[in-house]
């Protein structure tokens, strides 16, 4: 998770902050959080099957779901233009 965050910060600082860059970063953040939510569900199933305690599972899920939902909804607010390439 920390490596992904570092890569995101390096990507943001490497290119100027235009609408395309903001859209790409937000989209990659949403995809990463979808995968992380899957990891949380996997860990919950393992914890239930083995009897281990999974402290703060609900808090972690609610926090990540809220962040993912907010970022996904803000994707629609980004003014993005898709350039259509002319085929020969």
Average pLDDT over residues 16-39: 80
Q: Where are the domains of the chain?
A: 2-75
Give the model confidence (pLDDT) of 60-81 as tens digits: 888 888 888 888 888 777 777 7
pLDDT over 90 at 49, yes or no: yes
The reply to whether the predicted model has a pTM over 0.95 is: no
Can you list the pairs that 56-65 forms with residues at least 24 positions away whose Cβ atoms lie under 8 Å? 61/37, 64/33, 64/36, 64/37, 64/40, 65/37
């Amino acid at each position: 998770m920390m490596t992904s965050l570092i890569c995101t910060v390096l990507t943001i600082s490497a290119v100027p902050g235009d609408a395309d860059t903001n859209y790409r970063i937000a989209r990659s953040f949403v995809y990463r959080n979808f995968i992380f939510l899957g990891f949380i569900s996997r860990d919950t199933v393992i914890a239930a099957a083995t009897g281990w305690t999974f402290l703060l599972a609900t808090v972690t899920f609610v926090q990540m779901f809220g962040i993912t939902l907010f970022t996904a909804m803000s994707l629609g607010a980004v003014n993005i233009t898709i350039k259509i390439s002319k085929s020969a």
